[in-house]
Amino acid sequence: MDINSYPKAIKQVIESYAELRPSHGNIQLESIFDEKRKRFALMQIGWDRGRRVHGNLIYIKLKNNKVFIEYDGIEHGIVEDLVRHGIAEQDIVLSFLAMPELATAV
């Protein structure tokens, strides 16, 4: 797959997660795409057991022809779904696991 197709694949994966509903609470999942800056996110917002729920479930950015997964809060991880949608595994960087000097060098 061409790197120019990566945004479409990332959006498809995130949108498929956004259609899911948490098993408890009144929580909504919202996809957020900033194509100009090549940033893609899935947010959760709502209430569960009297407590406010909010924050990222997924945060991805494209940089230097790589897919940087900055945060992955999906139970089984997002990498396999991205690869199934045509993103080359060698183009995926797990920023949250990389040493800071490695993650910023690419």
Taking the C-alpha atoms of residue 25 and residue 57, their distance in angstroms, rounded to an integer, is: 16
Q: pTM score, two decimals? A: 0.85
Q: Distance of CA 93 to CAs 6, 15, 35, Å?
A: 14, 21, 19
Q: Give the domain ranges of the chain.
A: 3-105
Residue-wise pLDDT tens digits, 43-92: 999 999 999 999 999 999 999 999 999 999 988 899 999 999 999 999 99
Taking the C-alpha atoms of residue 38 and residue 29, their distance in angstroms, rounded to an integer, is: 20
Domain 3-105 sits in CATH at 3.30.310.110
